[in-house]
Amino acid sequence: MLAAGLPVSFFLTSLSQFFIVGSFFLEGSFKAKFKNFIGNKAAVLLTLLWLFHLFGMLWTSDIDEGLKDLRIKLPLLILPIVLAGSGPLNKNQFNIVLGVFIAAVFGGSLVSVAVYNGFIQKELHSIRDIFIFNVSHIRFALFVCLSIFILFKTLIYKYLQKSYVSAAGLLALTIWFLYFLVFIESITGILILIFTVLVNLIWLAWRTKGVAIKGFIILTVLLIPLFIFSEVRSILSEYNVRQDYPADIDAKTESGNPYVTLDDNVLFENGYPIWAYVCEEELRPQWNSISSIKYDSLDEREQPIRFTLIRFLASKGLKKDAEAIKSLSKDEVKSIEKGIANVKYQNLSNTRIRLIQIVWEIDQYKKGLNPSGHSVTQRFEFWKAAIGIIKENPLSGVGTGDMPEAYKEQYNKTDSKLSEKFRLRAHNQYLAFGVGLGIPLLLFFIFLLLYSLLSKENKKDYLFRSFWFIAVLSMLTEDTLETQTGVTFFAFFLCFFLFSKPEKQTA
């Protein structure tokens, strides 16, 4: 139930843990279970993480928020005790759980694509809206990444067993998940996948004795980062192009209306200045005559469509007047309505578009513009706020339940440019621990993560190693353990791969 619920059902995710705890007590053998748990250092350390949050209630003023946080993080207490106390599963049970998880992720991906294509009706403003199971697109991307690594190991096993039909089916499913990761524009998921692949390749190269195979793996490890670097460099070179576009402040439209040209050397699209030759007196009525989304309304991405339109016209090197709108094709009008702000974006892959948008976000942020609503650069403001709070409360943090108020005060203190609704928490789990319970707990958490990977044979276990890197990397840009789904994902699979793996399971 837990493996099935994580990707598609918040209700099942919660309910399953009641069944897990209930069966744990009904089964009895408490003395043996307690001995198993106490004898497992990783399990004890993981439960201490929750107990430290309980201890943090002593200097918390917002008790309700603190209790909410303790409830969300309960999997850190429950799952280590139950799974470490119960001992390992047999091979068939272990594989069934993994199979159910992959089936649920696959089902969730199919439903999301159905939503995108209109088979399931839902108002969409961005690709994130296709997820209807109360699971964020970033969390789901982590599930997809883990599924890919599980599938790959099973695929290799089936191939070596000469079960070619099964291997072909597993390969097709792996390709689907890779496609889906690109389809949902999850740069975070893609980067985590690539980095984890590189780690596994480096490990394989170190373990491989054959010179030719070792050389091929090392070459692959070098070529992947070079390809990424080349792609980013290509985007930067295109982005930094500036067109020769002199502004005539006395120019008028064909209808004799004056243009407005701002003295702005900051905003460009395809090298053309955005705020040169703008006549909103003509743009408004002309756009309203061809589009059902009015000029002063929002596009499908919930952005002011007037800005999307002006940016799109600028990207074509056009003046922003009635004649420019008349020159737009029907497909271009639809693109603007969808929130596409650059003519080039119509013919690029979603991943490349997202990379260009990230470059644009960072460039605007460096020039002092408001990062509100931009997923990458507003994180810089989140991290600044978190670091500021930690500096003021380095040893004990602000307490388990006082983080929301602490962030609010910090944003006000620094007069952050972020709009009120975008003044969020750190979106970095390591900083989140530092804010809540201080640097000592942050160091304890890092120690716990390293201990779980480096102790005994864990680092040799392909599935555990892959999951570990997925989880640890996700915490750099997300508060992974601050949501029910995120903390359950981390606690369950960490314990599952550490304590439930069949004893004779090979790496």
pLDDT tens digits for 407-441? 999 999 999 999 888 999 999 999 999 999 999 99
CA-based torsion, 283, 285, 290, 294: positive or negative: positive
Report d(CA 40, CA 84) in Å as an integer.
7
CA-based torsion, 402, 405, 407, 409: positive or negative: negative
pLDDT (0 to 100) of residue 504: 55
Q: What is the DSSP string of 276-303?
A: SSB-HHHHHHHHHTT-SS-TTSB-TTSS
Average pLDDT, the chain: 91
pLDDT (0 to 100) of residue 364: 83
Higher pLDDT, 347 or 403: 403
Specify the range with the lowest mean pLDDT, choosing from 27-31, 149-153, 480-484.
27-31
pLDDT at 214 over 70: yes
Are 144 and 105 contacting, i.e. CB atoms less than 8 angstroms apart? yes
How deeply is 14 buried, as exposed, middle or buried, from its count of CB atoms within 10 A (0-12, 13-18, 19+)? middle
pLDDT tens digits for 308-354? 999 999 999 999 999 999 999 999 999 999 888 999 888 877 778 88
How deeply is 366 buried, as exposed, middle or buried, from its count of CB atoms within 10 A (0-12, 13-18, 19+)? exposed
Are 352 and 251 contacting, i.e. CB atoms less than 8 angstroms apart? no
Helix (H, G, I), strand (E, B) or coil at 273: strand
Helices (H), 424-483: 429-454, 462-474
Distances (CA, A) of 371 to 205, 358, 360, 429: 42, 11, 11, 21
pLDDT tens digits for 239-273? 888 888 887 878 899 999 999 988 766 688 889 99
Report d(CA 153, CA 465) in Å as an integer.
13
pLDDT tens digits for 92-121? 999 999 999 999 999 999 999 999 998 998
Distances (CA, A) of 85 to 3, 31, 230, 393, 504: 19, 10, 50, 37, 18
pLDDT (0 to 100) of residue 264: 64
Report d(CA 48, CA 42) in Å as an integer.
10
| Portion of the chain with pLDDT greater than 90, in percent | 70
pLDDT tens digits for 343-395? 988 887 777 888 888 888 898 888 888 898 888 999 999 999 999 999 999 99
pLDDT at 84 over 70: yes
